């Protein structure tokens, strides 16, 4: 029996969930290497050989024929990689498509703008940094840009659901669950559309099953 192509290094209730969700959207064979963040198993020497930063997620691709192996880290890079490696899932516009540019913008926007802006919002500096020294907008500005993007709906690129919706949508879901999203009809509608995705439901069920296992 051949091994699944992908191995996701994963921990429940972490940023690795969005990659689990994306793999379920892609419907490709994968296996999970599960870590316990409370016990610090993601800092063990064996995992540091996979990701020297000791963070999840990380993805191992064994290749379509299982005859080579490569490691990808950082959620945005992993999402880009999976979507391009699995074209049959239609989770990324083609290189020749005019949607490719907006897609890449939104795919990266979570890591490059929304997450650091939220960190600034939650943990303000004692002295505000000059705006020319900070490479991302304010938290309110990032949410405003996202709101304008999803107003036409149902997805960031209109009718085409992509890996960018998983990356950005997962972060918005987390912010919403934490009560950190201001009222927005457009974003609420967007989150409602995400909640109906079969891939998300499968990923949530898998995470719930893993979380229920005895320690």
How would you write the chain as a 3-class SS string? CCCCCEEEEECCCCCHHHHHHHHHHHCCCEEEEECCCCCCHHHCHHHHCCCCCCCCCEEEECCCCCCCCEEEECHHHHHHHHHHHCHHHCCCCCCCCCCHHHHHHHHHHHHHHHHHHHHHHHCCCCCCCCHHHCCCCCHHHHHHHHHHHHCCCCECEECECCHHHHHHHHHHHHHHHCCCCCCCHHHHHHHHHHHCCHHHHHHHHHHHHHHCCCC
Q: Is the separation of the CB atoms in 152 and 193 below 8 Å?
A: no
The mean per-residue pLDDT over the stretch 63-80 comes to 96
Q: Which is more confidently placed, 1 or 213? A: 213
pLDDT band at 215 (very low <50, low <70, confident <90, very high): low
The mean per-residue pLDDT over the stretch 58-65 comes to 96
137 vs 28, 101, 125, CA distance in Å? 36, 20, 15
Q: Using one digit for the tens of pLDDT, what is the confidence trace for 159-201?
A: 999 999 999 999 999 999 999 999 999 999 999 999 999 999 9
Q: Using one digit for the tens of pLDDT, what is the confidence trace for 90-127?
A: 999 999 999 999 999 999 999 999 999 999 999 998 88
Q: What pLDDT is recorded for position 39? A: 94
Rounded distance between C-alpha atoms, residue 44 and residue 46, angstroms: 5
Rounded distance between C-alpha atoms, residue 34 and residue 11, angstroms: 5
pLDDT band at 133 (very low <50, low <70, confident <90, very high): confident
Rounded distance between C-alpha atoms, residue 25 and residue 160, angstroms: 13
Q: Is the pLDDT of residue 1 over 70?
A: no
Q: What mean pLDDT value characterizes the chain?
A: 96
The alpha carbon of 19 is separated from its chain's Cα centroid by a whole number of angstroms, namely: 6
Q: Tokens in use for 121? A: 């919002």
- Residue ranges and CATH numbers for the domains of the chain are 6-91+200-211 (3.40.30.10), 100-197 (1.20.1050.10)
Q: Is the separation of the CB atoms in 146 and 168 below 8 Å?
A: yes
The mean per-residue pLDDT over the stretch 44-58 comes to 97
């Amino acid at each position: 029996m051949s091994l699944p192509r992908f191995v996701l290094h994963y921990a429940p209730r972490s940023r690795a969930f969005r990659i689990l969700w994306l793999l379920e959207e892609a419907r490709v064979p994968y296996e999970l290497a599960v870590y316990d963040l409370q016990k610090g198993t993601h800092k063990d020497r064996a995992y540091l050989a996979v990701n020297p930063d000791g963070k999840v997620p990380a993805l191992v691709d064994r290749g379509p024929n299982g005859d080579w192996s490569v490691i990808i880290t950082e959620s945005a890079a992993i999402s880009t990689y999976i979507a391009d490696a699995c074209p049959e899932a239609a989770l990324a516009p083609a290189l020749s498509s005019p949607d490719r540019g907006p897609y890449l913008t939104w795919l990266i926007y979570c890591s490059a703008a929304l997450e650091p802006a939220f960190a600034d919002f939650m943990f303000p500096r004692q002295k505000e940094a000059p705006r020319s020294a900070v490479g991302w907008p304010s938290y309110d500005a990032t949410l405003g840009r996202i709101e304008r993007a999803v107003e036409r709906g149902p997805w960031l690129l209109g009718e085409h659901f992509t890996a960018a919706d998983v990356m950005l949508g997962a972060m918005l879901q987390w912010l919403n669950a934490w009560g950190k999203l201001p009222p927005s009809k457009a974003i609420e509608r967007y989150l409602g559309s995400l909640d109906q995705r079969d891939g998300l439901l499968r990923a949530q069920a898998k995470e719930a099953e893993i979380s229920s296992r005895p320690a």
